[in-house]
Structure 1
Amino acid sequence: MKFLLVLTFVAVAFAKKFDGDQVLTLYPAELAHVVAIHELEEFADFWSPDSPSLVNVGTTVDVRIPRDHLLKTKQVLAEIKLNYDVKIHDVQEMINKQFDSVKTPYATDEQYYNTYHTIEEINAWQTDMVNTYPNLISQEVAGASFENRPISRLTMGKSKDNPIFLIDCGIHAREWISPAFCQCFVNRMLTKYGVDAGVTAMMDSLTFVIFPVLNVDGYAYSWTDDRMWRKTRSNYGTICFGVDPNRNFDAAWSGPGSSSNPCSETYYGPSMASEPLTKTLQSYVKTNYQKIKAYVTFHSYGQVFIFPYSYANKDVPNKDEHNALAANAAAAIESVNRKKYTYGPGYEFHVSCRRWFG
């Protein structure tokens, strides 16, 4: 534990800083506002939607503005009468609070699952789960990342022959809550098996296949160098590193909401499925397609359940089934936590979620 804490302190000491950066919520009400927002792409970090090309009149936009561009940006917004709110007044303060929370030693399972963990800790946790529950969960190395880190896959359930429920977490590096969710989900299913009737029924009838951290290189980098890092860490000889793995799949590649600019957060890569993590996931799905009955990819931000399609303004044949599942999930969350989730096909939310599985 002391060694891990030392690593955390080093990461904080040498990480890229975001002092004075702010997250603004913009409310474009006319075409001139949309044009101005598009022009922010050169220096701004779009959080929602994650690409300026997805912004239209009426789209609520959350965007991080670096400190050096903040004054000028606010002047322009005032000049064109584009209304905005300051959502986060200092991004670095928020990051510092987050790192302070992970420095706190944990003595119980509850404390462990209420904080974020490094890739090394998550790897150790996977080994511990397999050793503790060998009859319910197994671990395999599904592939290797660009930096040669193992991409792990967990298989969980009473039998490996049941229909597959596929889950991936951590495809975007900075979305730490995603791997944390996968850890909490696995822990709950294992510890409640044979105790909770609902959990036991699911574990007896389904095979859960889980990728706890797909973007292992980016996730590691977000702990040591840049908390806001989103992409992979591949290097194809350009001045900027990484590809947006969410836009690298072999479907509607290079389409709306993605970028050909290697420095963009939504860069789709030099070719379809160029990223090792993309190849790894696609390979698994192609091999097991007939057995996969459900698939969920966990991201952070926005409190939405999104289902296909996002790359085109059309509905999947079983839209009603998707909609009912999302509605039930949203209602369940609200009944417990009073958090309101919206839901619908991706094109309604002006986002570019994964297309390959549509």
Structure 2
Amino acid sequence: MFLTLVVIAAFCVTNALANFTSYEGYKIYEFKAENTTQQETLEILAQNDAYDFFTRPRIFGLPIRVLVAPADQLQFQQTLEAAKIAYTIVNENFGQSVEVERKLNSMYPKQRNAAPGSISFDVYQRYDVIAAYMEELAKRYSSRVKVTSIGDSYEGRQLHAITITNGDGAANKNVILMDAGIHAREWIAPAAALYVIQQLVENYKQNSRLLTSYDWIIVPLLNPDGYEYSHTHERLWRKTRKPVTIICAGTDGNRNFDIHWGKVGASHTACADTFRGQTAFSEPETQALRDLMHSLTGRAKFYLTLHSYGNYLLYPWGYTSALPKNWRDIDDIARAGAAAIKTATGTEYTVGSSTNVLYAAAGGSDDYALGKAQIPISITMELPSAGQQFDPPLSKIEELASETWIGIKAMAENVIEKYKSAIERKKPRKLRFKNVGDTQTCIYS
């Protein structure tokens, strides 16, 4: 009987996967740019929409990975060889990897090994499970947790934001604002955001100091339409799902913010993965985040957006190689996160401005947070891949999420120390005595 059920389940999963986009025969190439000439060749290749650059660092010696369709592989290899760029093929058949991942993620119970009222990190959770988990937290911890909708996606899904406090009822605390999942295919990012939520709510006692003078507001899945589509139709779908033309849908949400919109690193071609949108803020998802940012003006001190992949902690500007006036403050915070992760796990993160470390791309949420919403610390965190690009193995989800939390926690602690809240500034000073020579002096501290 058990064997029969397994066969039926496998048959159902196979049929459910029939509509998935096939990446059969696609290869993933890895190489490094070792000099300026090679870097220029790669910049030219990156402008070709036929090649999907997973990573494109501008720092010599850092690994670059590109997904190439079977029909384009010969020409791609010849171009690399002509530029004397040594390469390796790290995945001979990306389509096979995607099929295995989808089947496993579909067959395993969504809440396996999860305590009642909690969430499992054994699989990549879908939108409905994520929404239900947040609502359950709001019921169980009503004095400390509130879930609101900041808007609706194009397809009508609520964009949930969870506000986490220490329950003291104090108004106008400083805020740490975080989001994930603006790029649909980066499944590990929402998983990491859920882990942060779990730590702040379910493990409150261990992390209560992070909520003493700051509230946390987290949007764990900013692009639910694209995220669901990447689960059901096209694994590497990146954009939103709002139609643009008869044959093209979706906008790259992280090119859609109104700060030097479309200036560089964003495509005007509707079918391109990096399509900037027909106008700035053309997408209801980016409008919702924009409005949330502005509602927190003066309170929000730290904006963190989670992406994958690449082990990077990046900050503005994305539209120019110039740095913001307070770049040293942001850099200090980012490096605190990188150092904490390296100390704990040995994983190394590269820190720097987006343009100088990766590539120029205008219209990003981190640029907008700093430049328009006046959030002083704005950082993009590109999570590791565990060797599997946008789809770390299911067995690695919790490990990567836990590692990410170590870095986020360290950055948050530094922000909290740097930007004291009004509550802390108004705390009554304690009277104490200090020995000065042979006398005692009364001082406040």
Could you state the TM-score of these two structures normalised by the residue count of structure 2? 0.72
Please give the root-mean-square deviation of Cα atoms over the aligned residues, in Å: 2.6
User: Residue type of the partner of 2:305?
Assistant: T
Count the aligned residue pairs.
Answer: 349
| 1:294-338 CA distance string (max 9 Å, x none) | 110000111010011121122222222211111111111112221
Give per-residue Cα distances to partners, 1:112-156, cap 9 Å, x unaligned.
123211112212222222222212111111111111211111111
Whether 1:22 aligns to 2:27 is: yes
**1:69 paired residue number:** 72
CA-to-aligned-CA distance 1:253-283 (integer Å, 9 cap, x gap): 0011111111211111100110101100111
1:356 pairs, out of 368, 378, 385, with 368
Whether contact under 8 Å (2:181, 2:306) holds in the other structure is yes
* Deviation of 1:212 (Å): 1.1
**Is it true that 1:227 corresponds to 2:235 in the alignment?**
yes
Structure 1 SS opposite 2:159: strand
Extract unaligned runs of 5+ from structure 1. Answer: none
Match of 2:349 in 1: 341
The 2-side partners of 1:303 and 1:189 are apart by 23
Q: CA deviation at 1:233?
A: 0.7
Alignment correspondent of 1:47: 54
The C-alpha deviation readout for 1:139-175, integer Å capped at 9, x for no partner, is 1111111112111111111246321110001000000
> Which of 176, 188, 191 is matched with 1:180 structurally?
191
1:34 counterpart = 2:37: no
Q: Distance in 2 between matches of 1:114 and 1:333?
A: 22
Q: Which runs of 5+ in 2 are unaligned?
A: 1-5, 371-445
For 1:163, which of 174, 199, 202 is the aligned residue?
174
CA distance in 1, matches of 2:185, 2:138: 26
Q: How does 1:96-115 map to 2 (within 5 A)?
A: 96-102=99-105, 103-105=107-109, 106-109=111-114, 112-115=120-123
Distance of 2:150 and 2:13 partners within structure 1:
28
Q: Cα 1:185–1:58, aligned 2, differ >3 Å: closer, same or farther?
A: closer
Residue of structure 2 in register with 1:119 after alignment: 127
CA distance in 1, matches of 2:55, 2:344: 26
The percent of aligned pairs where both chains have the same amino acid is: 26
- Aligned residues of 2:55 and 2:66 also touching (Cα < 8 A): yes
Contact 1:34 1:56 in 2 (8 A): no
1:311 correspondence with 2:322: no
CA offset at residue 76 of structure 1?
3.6
Query: What SS does the aligned partner of 1:77 have?
Result: helix
User: CA shift at 1:16, angstroms?
Assistant: 0.8
8 A contact 2:154–2:283 mirrored in 1? yes
